Structure 1
Amino acid sequence: MISIGPFSVQLVLLAIVLFLAWVIARFLALRPKDDKRKAAGGLLLDAVFWGIVAARLVHIFQWRDEYLQKPLSIIAISDGGYLWWAGLLVAIMYVLWRTRKIPLLRQPVLIGMVAGMLIWLVAGNALSMMQRSSIDFPDVQLATLDQQPVSLSAYRGKPVVLNLWASWCPPCRREMPAFEQAQEQFPDIAFVMINQGESLKNVQGFLQAEQLMLNNVLLDPVSRVMHQVRARGLPTTLFFDAQRQLQGVHMGEITAAGLKSKIALYFD
């Protein structure tokens, strides 16, 4: 799993892109007065803020049925729920509105935004390709709740969503209903819930207490899958297509809306 210390590489990349866009906007706004440089940098950051807010709100509206079922999931901003084209449009409109009386700032800020977006797209695609090529579909022997051996290679010919979890992990517990719902709505996708490092008794006790009806719960008592995919924490969800090629990884808790939006992105 590509990361830098405790932070995902996507988060680090976003910080770098914002900094570069800010530097470009300030540099292009370099005029006799230094206050224009400060104004350009501040305006760009304001536009990015409102763009992110808009991207989140449009995503929430798009998946409103899922969010209405669990309203608190709206504030789970780490689920990756953003519609970036909407955010970019709002950011551009914000800049145009704010610079209607100070047109000298318009070009530097817009160029900074466009440059940042291009860097984000190029670097993001490169990182995505690196991640896809660095993680293979884990082909290991695990066990079912009936204590029967099973290989992950048995899930072939259809898209597979692997979720690594443990009952002691609060985010893992919170996201379980989303997977229970998804397995009913997407029968052509195998949702495989691989418990990491716990005993059969603990897993069965948790599932019974939470009244969860999950189809593919497997036991990985020595966390071999977690080591193979180099996951840095739980929960981690990996999305593989029917050819067992990695399409995406989500680190941390995922909401029902976040899960369905990624299924639509990776498998439609």
Structure 2
Amino acid sequence: MIGVGPFPIQVFTIIGAVLLGWMTARFVARRMPEVSYKTAGSMILDAVVWGLLAARLIYIAQWWDEYSAKPMSMLAIGDRGFSWWAGIVVAVAYIWWRTRLTQALRGPVLAGVMVGVVAWAVAGGVLNLMQSSAPPLPDLQLATLDERSISLSAYAGRPIVLNLWASWCPPCRREMPVFEQAQTEFPGVAFVLVNQGENPKQAQAFLESEGLKLTDILLDPASELMRLMGSRGLPTTLFFDAQGRMVDSHLGEITMPSLKDKILRRFDRSSVSGTGK
């Protein structure tokens, strides 16, 4: 997994793109005597705020059934649930409206938006290339709750959602019902939840206290999987296709809309429903 400290690298690509767009708008505006470079920079930041808000609201609308079932999850922006291109359209429309009376300002601000979007798109492409070279599903020996040995390779041949968790981790505890629901809705996907660093009694006691019925709970008492996959914290959710290639990852608590979105975008729809061959 790629990141800086406990934060996914995508957060820093967005911040970097916004900063580059802000600098570009100010730079272009400085060369236009009739335009205030401070106003140009400020308008970029305002457009980012409105664009982010619109991107989040539109994403929530797309997944309304899931968010409405758990309204507080609408505030969980850490699930990275944003409709980015819709947000960009709203940001540009906001700039167009704000500059209707000062059209000389429109050029520098839109130039900033263009540079920021291009930088963000290029960074996203580079990250996708790096993701494609991520380590495959490891052939690691783990244990079941009744302490039988099992290898992760036993799940090969179908899509896998691999979650790394611990009972002492609050976001891990909060997202467990999400996986319980998902394993019913997507029977073709293996939801493998690997406990990190705890013994069978600790893991079992937590599952029983929460009344969770999860089918594939494994134990990794040495937290070897975190090291192999380069995870920087818990919870971590990794997505592997039927060939064992990692196609996506998520650091931190994941919500049902975000989980469904990734599954439907990354996996073949016939395989996730259990009808694929």
Superposed CA offset, 1:179-224 (max 9, x none):
0000000011111000001110111111111000101100111111
Q: Quick one: distance in 2 between partners of 1:129 and 1:249? A: 14
Counterpart position of 1:172? 172
Structure 2 counterpart of 1:259, which letter? L
Structure 2 counterpart of 1:2, which letter? I
Superposed CA offset, 1:113-161 (max 9, x none):
1111111111112122213313321210011122211111011111100
| TM-score, scaled relative to structure 2 | 0.93
Q: Aligned ranges for residues 49-198 of structure 1 at < 5 Å?
A: 49-198=49-198
Deviation at 1:258, TM superposition (A): 1.2
The SS at the match of 1:161 is strand
Counterpart position of 2:249? 249
The unaligned stretches of length 5 or more in structure 1 are: none
Q: Quick one: distance in 1 between partners of 2:24 and 2:170? A: 42
Structure 1 counterpart of 2:59, which letter? H
CA contact (8 A) 1:132 1:248 kept: no
Q: Quick one: distance in 1 between partners of 2:206 and 2:4? A: 33
Q: Quick one: distance in 2 between partners of 1:4 and 1:101? A: 42
Deviation at 1:35, TM superposition (A): 5.9
Provide closer, same or farther for how the CA distance between residues 34 and 19 of structure 1 changes in structure 2, counting only shifts above 3 A: farther
| TM-score, scaled relative to structure 1 | 0.96
Counterpart position of 1:12? 12
Structure 1 counterpart of 2:131, which letter? Q
Structure 2 counterpart of 1:234, which letter? L
Aligned-residue sequence identity (percent) comes to: 55
Structure 2 counterpart of 1:118, which letter? V
Q: Quick one: distance in 1 between partners of 2:208 and 2:49? A: 44
The SS at the match of 1:163 is strand
Counterpart position of 1:206? 206
CA contact (8 A) 2:25 2:111 kept: yes
Superposed CA offset, 1:214-260 (max 9, x none):
01100111111111001010000001111111111100001111111
Structure 1 counterpart of 2:206, which letter? F
The SS at the match of 1:188 is coil
The unaligned stretches of length 5 or more in structure 2 are: 269-277
Counterpart position of 2:220? 220
Superposed CA offset, 1:154-173 (max 9, x none):
11111100000000000000
Structure 2 counterpart of 1:95, which letter? I
The SS at the match of 1:29 is helix
CA contact (8 A) 2:66 2:256 kept: yes
Q: Quick one: distance in 1 between partners of 2:178 and 2:34? A: 52
Q: Quick one: distance in 1 between partners of 2:221 and 2:133? A: 27
Number of corresponding residues: 268
CA contact (8 A) 1:159 1:242 kept: yes
| Backbone CA RMSD of aligned residues | 1.3
The SS at the match of 1:74 is helix
Structure 1 counterpart of 2:128, which letter? S
Deviation at 1:12, TM superposition (A): 1.5
Q: Quick one: distance in 2 between partners of 1:143 and 1:5? A: 29
Deviation at 1:31, TM superposition (A): 3.8
Deviation at 1:14, TM superposition (A): 1.4
Structure 1 counterpart of 2:155, which letter? Y
Q: Quick one: distance in 2 between partners of 1:142 and 1:7? A: 28
Q: Quick one: distance in 1 between partners of 2:50 and 2:135? A: 35
The SS at the match of 2:143 is strand
Q: Quick one: distance in 1 between partners of 2:6 and 2:206? A: 28
Aligned: 1:26 with 2:26? yes
CA contact (8 A) 2:29 2:35 kept: no
Deviation at 1:5, TM superposition (A): 2.7
Structure 2 counterpart of 1:102, which letter? T
